[in-house]
Structure 1
Amino acid sequence: MYTNCDSMLNKKEELIARVNLDNPDFILLTEMLPKNVATTVDFVNLCIKGFQLFVSPNCSRGTGLFVREGISVSEVCFNEFVESVWVKVNLRVNESILIGCVYRSPNSSNNNNLLLLELLKKADDFNVDHVVVVGDFNYKFINWETMEVPMEKHSRDFLECTDDLFWFQHCKIATRFRNDNEPSTLDLVFSNDESLIINLKCTPPLGRSDLVVLTFEIDCDYYVEDPPVVRNYYKGDYDGMRKYIEELDLMQYCRSLSVQELALLIESTIQECTVKFVPLRSRTSNNRKPLMNRDVEKAIKRKHKAWNVFQNRRDIESRQEYVRCRNKVTAEKFKLNVRKKAFVVRVTDDWNSLPSNVVNQSSVNLFKAGLEKVWSGHHFKFCPYMTEEDSIVIEGQMSFDL
C-alpha cells in the first residue's frame, strides 16, 4: 500500500482502518508531516501497532516505510538524496529484494534532481536480485502511456535514466485529482522486473487528500521469521516446584554461606525450577484489530464504491456523492476518537478544577461516579469514610447505590 498522505496526523485513524481491511505487509508513505508546524513532530506518534517504522534520515516532509512485524528486513541507507527510505527484504529462495520509498518536491533544486538520478543508479547497482521503487516524483509532464515528454530538462533526464536502467513503470493512471484541474500521474511504481508487480489498483485517498492510495502485490515469497519462544507462566507446575524446593532444603546452607553466595544459590535454584516446571510457548504478536465498529467499515466501503463510480462517470453528481461518503468516514472516525480519548483528555484538562473530595476518593468507581456528577453539573457531597457499598447522596436528587 502506498500513498502521499499529506500529513498523517489527522489521517492516522482512517489509515489504521484501511490497514485492518486490506491487511498489507508494507505501507509506504510520503509527506507524513504537515507543511507548516511550529513544533517538531515525533515519529513515535505516527507508529502503527504490529509494524516497524523506517523513516528518512534527511526528513523534511517525512518519508516512511512500515513493515509488518516478523518479516526479515534490514535498513539500507543512501544519504545523498533528501527524502528516501530503503529496506532490504530477504526472500525464501536465497534471494533478496530492495524496496524504496522516494519523495521529490515539486520545488526540487537542480542539484537535488541530479542526486535523485544518482540514487536510482545506486539502487539498481545494489547487491540484490529485485528492486521496487515507489514514491511521489512530481513529474507531471511525462506521459507514461506514450512515453512522451515535452522539452523540460528534468523530466526528460528522469525518463532517460529509468530507460537506461531498464526499469518498468507500472502506474499508468492518474493519481492526483484536485478540483477542476487536469488529473496527473505523480505517484510512480518502478521495478526491474515487469512481472514483479501485479494487481495494481487505485483506491480513494485518505481523508481529504487529493492523491489516491495505490495497492499492489509484489510477486515474491519473502522470509518470515519464526516467532520467539517464551515461558508460559500461566501453565507452570507450581506445586511440583514447591515440592522440589522443599526437597533441596535450602535452609541448611544459610549458616555456611555468605549473603552474596546465598543470593546466587537462590537465583540459580529459581532458574532451574523455571526450566523444569514452566513450559515453553511461541510468542505470537498480540495485534488486536484496531477499534473499528461496523459503521466505520461500511462507511469506508461506501467511500470506495463512490470513488469507483466517480472515476467512471466524472460528473458533478458522482463527485458530490463521493464527497458525502468521504465526510461520513470522517464523522464515524471522530466518534471512535471520542470513545477512545474523551475520558482521558477530559480528566487531564479538568484535573486542577476538580474538588478535593472527588480527587481523594479511595477507589476508581467512586472517582468515576464523582466525575460524572461534576461533568453533569450536579453538586454533591462525599463522606471521607464512604465505601463502594455506601450510597452517594446528591443534593436535590435521589440517592443511588454504586
Structure 2
Amino acid sequence: MIIGITEVKPKNSAYKLNPAEFNLDLIDSYHLFSINIDSDKGRGMILYVHKTLGAKEVNMEINYEENIFVKIALNNNDALLLGLLYRSPSEIALSNNNSNLLNLITEPTQKNFSHILLMGDINYPNIDWETHSCKSDNIESDEYKFTQCVQDNYLYQHVTKPTRWRGSDTPHVLDLIFTNEENMVSDIEYLSPLGKSDHCVIQFQYNCYTKLKIDNRTKICYDRGNYEDFNKEILETSWEVLLKQGDHIDKNWEKFHEKLLEMEKRYIPVKKIKNID
C-alpha cells in the first residue's frame, strides 16, 4: 500500500518529466507525493501512499536536497512518520549534503512520533550492515559518521543483502530501511529490478496498527459498460480542440482525465458497497 521510488529521472534525459506522468489515480486509489520531478535538481523521487491511509505531507526543518516525509495516523493517537530519502554518490552533490543527511535522520527521533520508518537509496557501499561497521577505521569518514548517527538515534537497519549490482561490479547494500523499533519490519524480499535499474526492488511488511479510512463506496461495474457508445464518443471527440498543443502537459492531462471520468459516469454503471467493520 506504500511504494517509494528514487532516481526517477534518467541521468541524461532528453526532456523534462512531469508529475502527471506518474499519476496512478486511474489505476488505483493512491496519493502521489513527489520531489524534483519537473526541475533540474536531483534525480527525482515519487512516493505512492494508498488513500485509505490518509497520509499528509510533512515539511522537515533540515534542508536536504531529496526527501519526502508523510505522516500517517495510527490507533490510540499514535502516528507514523514515513520518509523516503536519496543520497547522491556524486562528488559535486556532497558539499553539505552528508552532514545535512545526518541531521535529517536525527530530526524525526526528536519529534513526537511513536513510529518511524525511513527508507531509500543512501549509497554507502563501504558499510557492513551485518556488523554495523565500516571497511575503513577512519572516524572522520562519512560512512563512520553515518553509522554513528544511526546508533546514536537508536534506529534499526533491516537490509543486509546486496541491493545493487551491475556486470562484474561488487554487489553492495545501498538501499536501506530504518525503524525506531526492531520488530516493525518483517518478510523482506529482494525482487527483480524495476525497468532498466540495477537496484533490486525491496518488498517488506511494516507492522503497525491503524484503521483504514474506508468510506461506504461505489464499485464501478466495468463488465457491464456500454463500450459501443463509449468508443463512438471517443472517435467523435475533437481531441485537437480539447487538448491544445501549446498547453502544458499537466493541463492537457487534467482535461483528458476529466473527459474520461465524465464518460465513465455516463457509460459504465456503478453499485454501492457497504463496508463491514
TM-score normalized with structure 1 length:
0.50
Say whether the 8 Å CA contact 2:163–2:173 is kept in structure 1.
yes
1-structure distance, mates of 2:102, 2:152: 11
Report the CA distance shift for 1:93/1:184 in structure 2 as closer, same or farther (over 3 A): same
Correspondence for 1:39 among 15, 24, 48: 15
User: Percent identity, aligned pairs only?
Assistant: 32
Q: Distance in 2 between matches of 1:225 and 1:200?
A: 26
Candidates 112, 116, 120, aligned match of 2:105:
120
- Asked whether 1:99 is paired with 2:82, we answer yes
Matches within 5 A, 1:158-237: 158-227=146-215
- Note if contact 2:31-2:49 (Cα within 8 Å) is conserved in structure 1: yes
Letter in 2 for 1:217: Q
Give how far 1:40 is off: 2.1
1:86 offset after TM fit, Å?
0.6
**Residue matched to 2:120:** 135
Q: Distance in 1 between matches of 2:221 and 2:141?
A: 48
More helix by share: 1
- CA–CA separation in structure 2 for the residues paired with 1:209 and 1:287: 37
What's the counterpart of residue 90 of structure 1?
Answer: 73
Secondary structure of the residue aligned to 1:133 is strand
Does structure 2 retain, via aligned residues, the 8 Å contact 1:175–1:187?
yes
Aligned with 1:195: secondary structure? Answer: helix
Structure showing greater radius of gyration is: 1
1:287 CA displacement: 10
1:284–1:164 Cα change, 3 Å: farther
The answer to whether the 8 Å contact 1:72/1:223 transfers is no
2:59 aligned partner: 77
CA deviation profile, 1:285-339 (whole Å, cap 9, x unmatched): 6598xxxxxxxxxxxxxxxxxxxxxxxxxxxxxxxxxxxxxxxxxxxxxxxxxxx
* TM-score, normalised via structure 2 length: 0.72
Residue 147 of structure 1 and its aligned partner are, at CA, apart by 1.8
Unaligned ranges ≥5, structure 1: 1-24, 228-281, 289-342, 350-402
Aligned mates of 1:207, 1:285 — CA distance in 2: 32
1:67 aligns with 2:1: no
1:70 aligns to what SS in structure 2?
Answer: helix
Contact conserved, 2:133 with 2:147, CA < 8 A, in 1?
Answer: no
Aligned to 2:227: none
Question: Partner letter of residue 192 of structure 1?
Answer: N
**Cα distance in structure 1, aligned partners of 2:198 and 2:12:** 18
RMSD: 2.4
Residue type of the alignment partner of 1:97: L
